[in-house]
Every structure is written in C-alpha cells, then in structure tokens.
Structure 1
Amino acid sequence: MRGKSALLAALSAVSLVVAVPSRSSAAPTTFTHPGVLVSKPQLDFVRDKVNASAQPWRGAYDRMMAHPFSSLSRVPKPRAVVECGSYSNPNHGCTDEREDALAAYTLSLAWYITRDNRYATKAIEIMDAWSATIRDHTNSNAPLQTAWAGSSWPRAAEIIKHVHGNWPNSGRFATMLRDVYLPEIVNGRAATNGNWELSMMEATLGISVFLEDRAVYDKAVSIFRTRMPAFVYLASDGSLPKAPPGSGIDTRAEIISYWHDQSTFVNGLSQETCRDFTHTGYGLAAAAHIAETARHQGQDLWAEVRERLRHAYGLHAKYQLGAEPVPSWLCGGSFKQALGPTTEVAFNALNTRLGIAMTNTQTLTERQRPTGTDRLFTGWETLTHASNPA
C-alpha cells in the first residue's frame, strides 16, 4: 500500500463528513442490495426477457455470453501493485485488472440469468484472487485506473453476495475496496478533466453501497453535485461554465483553456467535447451510473441532472450521427473519435422512465445495439438497461 500516511489522510477526510453534516447528506438509512448500477427488479426484468427470447435483450445476452469475459476457463491475473502511466503506459496490470473486474461483473450477470453456479464460482474465483493479492495502484493514471476497476468490482460483488450468497471471502473483498481503492479516489481530483472525477465518484459511490458506508456515500454525492455543472454546461449557469471547486480555475482565460479552448458555450456542451467525444462519453456514462445507483438507494439524482444529461447526449449524438456539419464555432469545426457505448443508462432513465423525447440519442442508441463493453468500465448496458422500466 502506498503508505499509512496517505491512507490515514484519505480516511480522515471521509470522517469529516460525519463530523460536519451538510445539506447534501442523503445516504439511505438502509441500503438496498443488489443496488450498484443494477437492481434486483431490473435483473428480473432482463432474465424474463432473455428467457422469452425477446429483443434486444436476447441479442445482447448472446453477445455477452460469446465474449471472453464470460469464459469459465478464464484465469485471473492479480498483481500486488498495478502501475499505470498516462494512457496506460506503462501497463503493469492495468488491462488485466480492468478486464478481470469486468469479467467478474459479466459472470455475475451470466449467473443471475442462467442460475448456473459455475458462473458464480468463476466470478468469486476472480474476486478472491484480487482481494488476496492487490495492495496498491501507482504512477500518474493510478486514480483513473482505480476508478475504472473500482466501478466494476462492486457491481459484481453486490450480485454475488446478496443474491447468490455462499462467498466466504466477501469480507476480505470488502477490506480490499476500503483499504486499496477508496484512498485513491474518495477525495476526487478537482483540476483533472471531468471524466476522471466522475469515474472516481462512480467507484466511490458503488463501493460505499457495498460497504454500507453512509459517510463515503454522502461524500461521493457531494462531489458529484459540484462536478456536474463543471462538466456539462447549461445556459442557466451564466456566460461561463462553472469551475470545479478547489481547482484553482477561476478566470475566463483559465476556464476556456480548461474547456479545451472552446469559447462559445451552448446547452449540453461538455468540458471535454473539444478534447474528444470518447472521453466525454466516459464522463457522461459515469454520471448516468451515479444517478442510477443513487436511484436504487432511494435518492433521485436524475431530477438534478436530467437537463444536463439530456442536452449533453442530444448535442453529442447529433454530431456523432453526422446529421449536419459541425459548425466552425464548435471545436474549430470538427470533433475527434466516437461517443462509445455510453447512452443506454441515461436514455432509459430519461426516455423510458421519465418520458423525455430524445430523438438523436434514441437513433444513436438503437443504432449501436446491442452494446458490448469498452473494456474499461462499461459493459452490457443494452442487456441491463434497454427499455427497462424497473
């Protein structure tokens, strides 16, 4: 582990939430399990649809079951220290950790739908291997790497512990999440690109649910609430986007630089739009995952972020679809890379459940079905969230 001083500092920061409650305190008195990204009613809906061979769920399930992440012969590759530099260079365990975490989640979904215990056994094997081994994340991408893997682990752990049961080392896994993962992510990173901090808060929130830690839950929600206006712009914010509190970004020139030299702001523009759509998609997906997990815990964050997310997905989907030329005022007239398989959770929440028309987002979402995995932290979201009213 990186050192007792760093760990104590991080956990001390968490304890301050308990000592000084704020208006954002919203953790449930009783946590709902499974309740990280997916809930039992959602999973039951999916299982029924797959068993009835209904589309798009059956196609999404077949794609998942054909993927190496669902393989019963998978051999986990845990490391004591995962070292990840910028863009995973060096890559000492980075890909292995992320993919093992996603595999554990994939296998837990496979078990839930099939009730074939071999899938649960393999998921447990992977989680046990890592909880027995990992002690630290290092190098410049350590917070983001920790966030990505830390977003997937509790999704799997929730299903296995609270539905399957019979997991003797679940306590050791919980200790791993608290001692190895939380210290790296719980305080956020205000001055980074927004996808970093949103992914860090997604992992923090998911871990807090698995640990039933109300203080950590409240801290994740508090940081999320200040990060969202600094990641997605609305005209009601004023002439300039909000800056992340504590970032030191406070002048017009600094904000424009932080928004990758974009100086014209419209509803739905993201802080990373003019960097590329791929990292924008990471941030939007993490935000949707946070709101969905909070909903399972009885808190309506969707009401707080619906306008930002509907405009953000609408704007980016429009240009991703190529329906019209990118105007010269937007990122110099061009954008980079793809939005990725990031729309299903938000589209389901905003369109299926809230009835908000999202024409461009719907077209893009349906065109991409059935989505697979980005091999980072999203996976099988057509299966779990397409037209899912639960």
Structure 2
Amino acid sequence: MSASGRRSGLLFGVLTLLMTFAAPAVPASAAPATFAHPGVMVSRAQLDFVRGRVNANAQPWRDAYDQMAASPYGSLSRTAKPRAVVECGPYSNPNLGCTDERQDAIAAYTLSLMWYITQNSQYATKSIQIMDAWSATIRDHTNSNAPLQTAWSAASWTKAAEIIKHTYGNWPNSARFGTMLRTVYLPEVVNGRANTNGNWELTMMEASLGIAVHLEDRAVHDKAVGIFRTRVPAFIYLPSDGALPRTPPGSGIDTRQEIISYWHNQSTFVAGLSQETCRDFTHTGYGIASIAAFAETTRIQGQDLYPEIGDRLRTALGFHTRYEREGIPSWLCGGAVKRGLGPVTEVGMNQFVTRQGIAMPNTQAWTEERRPHGSNSLFVAWYTLTHANNPS
C-alpha cells in the first residue's frame, strides 16, 4: 500500500472512531419500533385478566366493577357537555367547562372499560358519542389552569380512545379525535412546567405520553420520557440525592432556601418525602398516580422505566401510607399536614407486590382497607378494577 493510501486509511479509522464516540447513543427508553395497542396504562392482557375475574365474580374485581357500573360515569343516558373554549382559573375558578370536560373524559374511559368487560356494544357507542361530541367542538383551553386541566382530561381521553379504537374499531371519527389531541391538547402539555409544583408536570407528561402512544408519535414519546426522567427525582427524595433534593432542570430553583421553600418549608429530608408532602397528601397523590401511570405505559410499550424510578415510587408509597395510618410526627411538616392520599396506590403496589414480590406492609394494608378504589373526579379512575393483583 502506498504512503498516501496508508494515510487515507488512518484518517478513515480516526474519523470512524471519532464518529463512534461523538454519535449520541440511543437511549434505553427511546420510543418502541412498534407501539402496542391498547397501550395507555392498560394492555389487552390486563383487560382480559380483569374481564375473567369480573365474570367469575372474584374479589376485589367484582365489587370494583359494580362500583364503576353504578357511578354516573357508566350511565348509558349520559349527555356530553362539550365547549369550544374551556376556561379554568386557579382551583377551577372560574369553572367554565372544567368539571364537564374532566368528567366526560372519565366517562368515556369508564364506558370503554364496561364495553370490554361486558362486550355490550352499547357502552362502546356511548363512549364514542362522548369523544365525538368533544372532538367536534373544543378548540382551546384558557386561563391559568389550562395546562393542568388539559393534562387531567387528556390522561382519561387517551385511555378511552386506545380501548375503543383497538378493541371495538367501529369509530368513523377516530381521526378527528386524534387531530383534537394533537392540536388542542398536546401544545398545552408537551413542554412541561418546570417551576410548578411537581404534580403539574408529572400529569402533563402522563398526558403527553398517552397522546404519543395513541398517535404513534416517537418524537413526543421521547420528549415526554426525557422530562419525566428528571422530574421524578425532583419530586421524590432519596438520601442518594445528597443533603438537598434535586430540582427540576430549568426551574431556576437552586439555593438552599429556594429548595426548602419549594418543598413547602420542609427542611428535614428523608427517603420517600415528596416535594408536595407538606402542601398536602392529596396533591402528592396526584403526582404519585402520574408516576405510576407513566411507568405502566412504558412497561406495556416494552421500554420499562420501573427499574429506573421504582425505588422512589415504592419508597414514596410506603412513606405516605405509613403516615396515613400512624399520624404525622412532629418533625414532618411541623407536625400538621392535611392527609388524604386518594385512590392512587393500586398501580404502584401491583408492580412491586404482585409482580416483584416485594413486601410493602403499610401500602398493602392501607390499600386493601379502602378497596375498591374509585375515581378522584379529576383523572384517576378504577385502579382496583384494572390493577389490583393483576400480574399481566
């Protein structure tokens, strides 16, 4: 080989080596090559398990189904109340369509579950009627709570749409519904809100991921996963984080005093504490619910994030159910904080106790005492039915 050939070969080798190190690695949680459907929090295998348990009158699924069927969300006489513009201020004040939208979305999901379990097409038809009414009407969300309202509603819409589209199928306006998700809902949630309380951004990412799966949008999937992977460590503390909790990237929260203020004036940090614990357990529960729902969806899609966030979620569940049962110690939140975690524990507990065989005595006792868990009327619904002791 000539000298020039050797130089060319050497140069090619160096360039190849540089490209190898410079090229970004494909993240382990990148969007799947093929999306699984239905695939937003509940899979076909999970639905089949539930249907079998309900039809066998097994508990707690039978009671959970009966609770759902008796709720207003499962009514075949329900009339949707769509609006072109939903306006939601702080704590839904003003409330111009906020409650109507959230509850219609939960109803669409409820009816989709009833369709699958009973195979009665009337329930699928009613779910479609509700989704069609909104997709034909809504154009925008306004006022300060618009991102959160959008997230709450989209979290339910996407679960309903996945079940109906992929197990019932006779839905002529499904494309219009997908356009609604992309143009009305996605812009409000996809970029997150780093400087808000954590439950906001976590629910926004749950909604974004659901939209990504339904639309098979890999870019949106990967963006949601990226934000989620930094937000969970900024919401649940572990001692490995150091003396202070992590903060959301881009939030501008970086001094000790800013962090303590952001954590609602809690200055003693222990494993499982949440950024919103000292606000109240209810808002903490919203965040826990979205963390579990997000991880459940990634598991269904074959890009399981439970191994990455599992210690935080499991510890947070144990921490908060312990103090739900025992009361608040003096070092936590000054000894006084409003409890009421809500119906949010089944999904995480199922992952750790049923699938992994990990003992969670406080979480299991607290959860089982309150079964069946229903809906919080925002975006959480029927977790006992779908996830209690469900190995699928």
Which residue number corresponds to residue 7 of structure 1? none
Q: Give 1:272 deviation, angstroms.
A: 0.1
Q: Give 1:26 deviation, angstroms.
A: 1.2
Supply the distance in 1 between the matched residues of 2:258 and 2:25 (Cα, whole angstroms).
Answer: 32
Which residue number corresponds to residue 376 of structure 1? 378
Which residue number corresponds to residue 5 of structure 2? none
Which residue number corresponds to residue 342 of structure 1? 344
Note if contact 1:111-1:120 (Cα within 8 Å) is conserved in structure 2: yes
For residues 217-255 of structure 1, give each alpha carbon's deviation from its aligned partner in whole angstroms, at most 9, with x where no partner exists.
Answer: 001010000001100000000000000000000000000
Supply the distance in 2 between the matched residues of 1:135 and 1:119 (Cα, whole angstroms).
Answer: 26
Q: Give 1:52 deviation, angstroms.
A: 0.3
Supply the distance in 2 between the matched residues of 1:337 and 1:302 (Cα, whole angstroms).
Answer: 26
SS at match of 1:181: helix
Note if contact 2:29-2:305 (Cα within 8 Å) is conserved in structure 1: no
Q: Give 1:21 deviation, angstroms.
A: 7.9
Runs of 4+ residues over 6 Å off in structure 1: none
Supply the distance in 1 between the matched residues of 2:304 and 2:162 (Cα, whole angstroms).
Answer: 21
SS at match of 2:269: coil
Supply the distance in 1 between the matched residues of 2:66 and 2:387 (Cα, whole angstroms).
Answer: 16
Supply the distance in 1 between the matched residues of 2:329 and 2:380 (Cα, whole angstroms).
Answer: 30
Supply the distance in 2 between the matched residues of 1:186 and 1:73 (Cα, whole angstroms).
Answer: 34
Q: Give 1:343 deviation, angstroms.
A: 0.1
Which residue number corresponds to residue 361 of structure 1? 363
SS at match of 1:35: coil
SS at match of 1:36: coil
What's the TM-score, normalizing by structure 1?
Answer: 0.94
CA RMSD of aligned residues (A): 1.2
Is 1:272 aligned with 2:276?
A: yes
Note if contact 2:198-2:231 (Cα within 8 Å) is conserved in structure 1: yes
Supply the distance in 2 between the matched residues of 1:258 and 1:214 (Cα, whole angstroms).
Answer: 33
SS at match of 2:191: coil
1:144 corresponds, among 142, 145, 148, to: 148
For residues 189-242 of structure 1, give each alpha carbon's deviation from its aligned partner in whole angstroms, at most 9, with x where no partner exists.
Answer: 000000000000000000100000000000101000000110000000000000
Q: Give 1:24 deviation, angstroms.
A: 6.0
Is 1:32 aligned with 2:45?
A: no
Which residue number corresponds to residue 309 of structure 1? 313
1:113 corresponds, among 103, 108, 117, to: 117
Supply the distance in 1 between the matched residues of 2:370 and 2:41 (Cα, whole angstroms).
Answer: 20
Unaligned runs of 5+ in 1: 1-19
Q: Give 1:386 deviation, angstroms.
A: 0.2
Unaligned runs of 5+ in 2: 1-23
Is 1:226 aligned with 2:194?
A: no
Note if contact 1:24-1:222 (Cα within 8 Å) is conserved in structure 2: no
SS at match of 2:389: coil
For residues 53-82 of structure 1, give each alpha carbon's deviation from its aligned partner in whole angstroms, at most 9, with x where no partner exists.
Answer: 000000000000000100000000000000
2:244 corresponds, among 240, 244, 251, to: 240
Higher Rg of the two aligned structures? 2
Supply the distance in 1 between the matched residues of 2:28 and 2:205 (Cα, whole angstroms).
Answer: 15
Note if contact 1:104-1:153 (Cα within 8 Å) is conserved in structure 2: yes
Supply the distance in 2 between the matched residues of 1:163 and 1:251 (Cα, whole angstroms).
Answer: 51
Which residue number corresponds to residue 68 of structure 2? 64
Q: Which amino acid is the alignment partner of residue 289 of structure 2?
A: A
1:21–1:189 Cα change, 3 Å = farther
Q: Give 1:23 deviation, angstroms.
A: 3.4
Note if contact 2:194-2:249 (Cα within 8 Å) is conserved in structure 1: yes
2:187 corresponds, among 183, 189, 192, to: 183
Note if contact 1:150-1:181 (Cα within 8 Å) is conserved in structure 2: yes
Which residue number corresponds to residue 261 of structure 2? 257
Supply the distance in 1 between the matched residues of 2:124 and 2:28 (Cα, whole angstroms).
Answer: 37
Greater shift in the superposed pair: 329-338 or 174-183: 329-338
Note if contact 1:24-1:221 (Cα within 8 Å) is conserved in structure 2: no
Which residue number corresponds to residue 92 of structure 1? 96
Supply the distance in 2 between the matched residues of 1:368 and 1:231 (Cα, whole angstroms).
Answer: 25
Q: Give 1:337 deviation, angstroms.
A: 3.2
